[in-house]
Amino acid sequence: MSIKAIDFSRQAVYETQLLAKAMPPNSLGRLASLALKLALIKEGPLDSLSLLLFAGDHGVVEEGVTHSPQQITYQQCCNFASGGGACSLFASLNHATLSVIDVGVNHSFSEHEAVVDCKIGYGTRNFLQGPAMGREQCLQAMEAGRNRVRVAIETGAHAIAFGEMGVGNTTSASAVAAALTNLPVSAITGKGSGLSDAELEHKISVIEQALVLHPERDPLTVLCNLGGYEIAAICGGMLEAAEASLPILLDGFVVTSAALVANAMDEYFHKYLIPCHQSGMQGHRRMLESLGCGQPLLDLQMQLGEGTGALAAWPLVRLASHLLTDMTSFSDAQVTDSTKLLQSMGLV
């Protein structure tokens, strides 16, 4: 199965439908543009969102790139799975389905903790000492992501969003992004959860050393060498969602690094992305520009991750998806067609 090129010949039909709605032309601005983009990806209203939150630990934390102790990864997974945290709150308020999935956490979860077990390993290796993951492990993580998307589709998801949890994962995300975009490491590396200026310089140095140690730039090798289990799972899941012609609600910095890998694997992939927000993390805007998926819907300076940016944008996406099918037209509403009047005057 491969990703289909979107049929843009249908766009004129949808534009005509939108102009027939009982409102002045172009009066909904970017919301109307979003409606057109969504219709080209998947016709019909979107009412069911599945957020797949993948978790994994990172060996590079040995290099002092974060102040957060690694046990926070598994602790937060338990918190999210039990209904805590921002992602759970946002999902609940949005009536979205949240799944917390362990692909590489350095912890053994018990059944009662409600974390989905897709474990490939107990954290990646330190990528300054060799590849973060073996090729087979990376492919297994990607397949785990694909499988969870299939489950989401089988249970009725109309759109898919991805979240992540993993102490140290902004270091891996920056490394992956730098390798695939050729942007300077300093341009796409931020302080994460509160580094000092000097500590940020150290983090940048660690990533620069890794790029020299791992000079290969094909996407799968980059993912193996510099990524994380959760980044690999998100990459695989995104490819599966795009192959199923579903809109993908793109979250923040770490999830976007996975999208860069998927985009390097398939030329049509980025057309299925709905960029939900511009993260407050250093360099996220430039990563989005490299993807070529358009302007993000929100810019709230969020940098939490967990899929919270996608969840914040979901109400806008859902609204836009209903415009073509559910909004009354001039004729249905028995309202004088002011758009046709403007068209007759050559103003539209």
Distance of CA 131 to the CA centre of its chain: 24
* C-beta of residue 126 within 8 angstroms of C-beta of residue 65: no
Q: Which residues pair with 51 in a beta bridge?
A: 98, 161
Distance CA 250, CA 296 (A): 9
Does 267 participate in catalysis according to the annotation? no
Helix (H) or strand (E) holding 54: strand 49-56
Tell me, letter by letter, the H, E, C secondary structure of 60-98: HHHHCCCCCCCHHHHHHHHHHHCCCHHHHHHHHHCCCEE
Q: Which residues pair with 250 in a beta bridge?
A: 275
Helix (H) or strand (E) holding 159: strand 159-165
- HSE of 26 in the Cβ direction (CA atoms, 13 Å)? 4
* C-beta of residue 99 within 8 angstroms of C-beta of residue 51: yes
In angstroms, what is the C-alpha Rg of the chain?
21
Distance CA 70, CA 307 (A): 20
Q: Exactly one of 63, 240, 243, 306 is catalytic; which is it?
A: 306
* C-beta of residue 124 within 8 angstroms of C-beta of residue 104: yes
Distance CA 309, CA 195 (A): 22
DSSP structure class, residue 126: P
- Which of 218, 186, 206, 198 minimizes the C-alpha distance to 286? 186
Helix (H) or strand (E) holding 273: strand 273-275
Which of helix, strand or coil describes residue 248?
strand
Write the single-letter amino acid at 111.
E
Helix (H) or strand (E) holding 129: none
Distance CA 204, CA 230 (A): 22
Catalytic residue ranges: 306
